[in-house]
Amino acid sequence: MADEEEDIILSELNDEELVQQMFDDLYDGLREEIEEGVNILLERGWEPYRVLTEALVGAMTIVGNDFRDGILFVPEVLLAANAMKGGMAILKPLLVETGAPRMGKMVIGTVKGDIHDIGKNLVAMMMEGAGFEVVDLGINNAADAYIDALIAEEADILGMSALLTTTMPYMKTVIDQLAEKGIRDDYIVLVGGAPLNEEFGKAIGADAYCRDAAVAVETAKDFISRKHNQMAAG
Amino acid sequence: MSSEDDRLTIHGMGPETAPAPTLGPDAPSPSPGQRVLLLACGALAREILAIRDQAGLSHMDLMCLPAILHNSPQKIPDAVAEAVARHRDAYDRIFVVYGDCGTGGLLQARCEELGVEMMPGPHCYAFFEGVPRFAEIQEQEFTAFYLTDFLVRQFDAFVTRPLGLDRHPELREMYFGNYEKLVYQAQTDDADLDAKARDCAAFLGLAYERRLTGYGDLERELRAL
């Protein structure tokens, strides 16, 4: 198999075969091959947004599904994400230039005292892939950092992530401070992280708990679409 | 030694009956006939047996669930509930020797439903250090990665292999890039474990610190049962 794969010359494949090969390469975490595939599709006149959605997001969705179903494990997901990141780095500036559709803006970060950012990074990447603008605050964020960024960026969504049982209660602190300032309902608040669950999300007053990156994207799209409908009705 | 640790990681251990009482002057005197089952994480087996045998807590049996459940904490509450159901008739009291261990409060809730008690604290690092002290130092030390005696011995089974670092060392930065130091909480004074823990820190690219914690809250809680 390895020999066969080495023999494949990406530029000789037609579009359909190339996208299929990119699905395989992203699944296998082959960053250089993904970067090459992205460049070939762009040279062939594909819009950056089409490359992103049809080749990268499509492939990463399969990775996400197989992770959820216990077929893939964290190391493989990280390798795939790293490959996607390589492709995204080429596409991001082009997406801005070509005016790709914008779904909304998200401020995201791990909460105070928590440095575990693997899940947060995956969510940020998949949100970008789905057309959201993402302001990534990184790790260890105090409530002020979230709130300042939400206001300054005129964001639609707040995403908070925690891996530790000891740090996840801080999400409530942030939500309470939003409420104290009278701006809680201005934002869609999504929370996630390994020790969280739906019950916890409800208890702290989040809009939704998202168990993985794919769910975060779907939930964000759903809330944004409801928000637009409400605005249209209002 | 290593095969025993492997067994505790993968299979745990069935109820292990305490040896005949060796009542010393400081040994507690349990209620006559009262049998206690300690239902614990395999990662704590040696420490619990050492405390039990040293303190003469002969009314306590120990059963351990596979330590590797820690890598999928969502499975811990069901595994505990199943073990409680299986053994509760044979004991007067069951004490669950787990912290929250990443279950997000679900283990505590399940123990309450089952009517069994459990260790207070987020995880074993906290009760070896002492829960209040650990909470205090965490505010300054949240960039620390903790290992105990068991985890030093089983570093490959809990860290290297499941994180794929044996196959993909390039992932190290993604996992550990935000950590600054590895803290080895030593339960025993063992030069070999110290050296191995130091190697683990080097492998992860982290500074190294060793703290001799002993058994911390674990000893106090077990003696109080």
Task: Quote the pLDDT of residue B138.
Answer: 85
Given an 8 Å threshold on Cβ–Cβ distance, is A165 in contact with B105? Answer: yes
Question: Do A139 and A89 fall into the same domain?
Answer: no
* Percent of the residues in chain A that have a pLDDT greater than 90, as a whole number: 86
Decide if B74 contacts B107 (C-beta within 8 A).
no
What mean pLDDT is predicted for residues B83-97?
95
Kindly report the average pLDDT of chain B as a whole number: 91
User: Which of B134, B174, B176, B180 is the mutation pick for testing A, counting most A CBs within 10 A?
Assistant: B174
Same domain, B113 and B176: no
Residue B25: per-residue pLDDT: 47
Q: What is the pLDDT of residues B118-164, one digit of tens each?
A: 999 998 889 999 999 998 998 889 999 999 999 999 999 999 999 99
Interface of B with A (CB under 8 A): 73, 100, 102-106, 122-123, 135, 138-139, 142-143, 162-165, 167-168, 171, 174-175, 178-179
Q: Distance (Å) from the C-alpha of residue B178 to the closest C-alpha of chain A?
A: 6
Q: How confident is the model at residue A1 (pLDDT cuts 50, 70, 90)?
A: very low
Residues B29 and B140 in one domain: no
Average pLDDT, chain A: 93
Q: B102: nearest CA in chain A?
A: A195
* Tally of domains within chain B: 2
Say how far apart CA B146 and CA B125 lie, in whole Å: 7
Q: For residue B152, give the amino acid letter.
A: V
Are residues A138 and A72 part of one domain? no
Q: Which residues of B41-63 are buried (b: 16+ CB within 10 A; e: fewer)?
A: bbbbbbbbbebbeebbbbbbbbb
Q: How far apart are CA B204 and CA B104, in angstroms?
A: 27
A67 and A167 together in one domain: no
Question: Same domain, yes or no, for A87 and A107?
Answer: no
> pLDDT grade, residue B31 (50/70/90)?
low
Q: Does the pLDDT at position A233 exceed 90?
A: no
Domain CATH code at residue B58:
3.40.50
Task: Give the three-state DSSP class for A226.
Answer: helix
Give the CATH number of the domain where residue A34 resides. Answer: 1.10.1240.10
Q: Which residues of B touch A79 (CB under 8 A)?
A: 168, 171
Q: Which of B63, B187, B213 is nearest to B133 (CA)?
A: B213
Q: How do residues A152-209 score in pLDDT, each as one tens digit?
A: 999 999 999 999 988 999 999 999 999 999 999 999 999 999 999 999 999 999 999 9
Which structural domain range is residue A204 located in? 102-234
| CATH code where residue A177 lies | 3.40.50.280
> Any chain B CB within 8 A of the CB of A76?
yes
Sorting pLDDT into bands at 50, 70 and 90, what band is A232?
Answer: confident
d(CA B8, CA B199): 23
ipTM of the complex: 0.86
**A141 & A223 share domain:** yes
Inter-chain touch A115–B171, beta carbons under 8 Å: no
Residue B2, burial from CB neighbour count under 10 angstroms (0-12, 13-18, 19+): exposed
- Give the pLDDT band of residue A234 (cuts 50, 70, 90): low
User: Residues 6 or more apart from A166 whose CB is under 8 A from it?
Assistant: A113, B122, B135, B138
| pLDDT for residue B7 | 84
**Residue A132 shares a structural domain with residue A225:** yes
Residue that terminates a domain, selected from A85, A100, A115: A100
Looking at A100, A127, A152, the residue that finishes a domain is A100
Size of interface A-B (CB pairs under 8 A): 61
Closest-CA distance of chain B to residue A114, Å: 7
Please check whether residues B6 and B117 belong to one and the same domain.
yes
**Which residues constitute the domain of residue B67?**
2-122+217-224
Residues A106 and A94 in one domain: no
State how far the Cα of A10 lies from the Cα of B5, in Å rounded to an integer.
Answer: 48
Same domain for A68 and A146? no
What is residue A5's predicted lDDT score, i.e. its pLDDT?
53
In chain A, which among 110-129 make CB contacts under 8 A with chain B? 113-118
CA distance B162 to B166: 9
- The number of folded domains in chain A is 2
Which of A57, A73, A100 is at the close of a domain? A100
Dump pLDDT digits (tens) for A94-119: 988 887 778 999 999 999 999 999 99
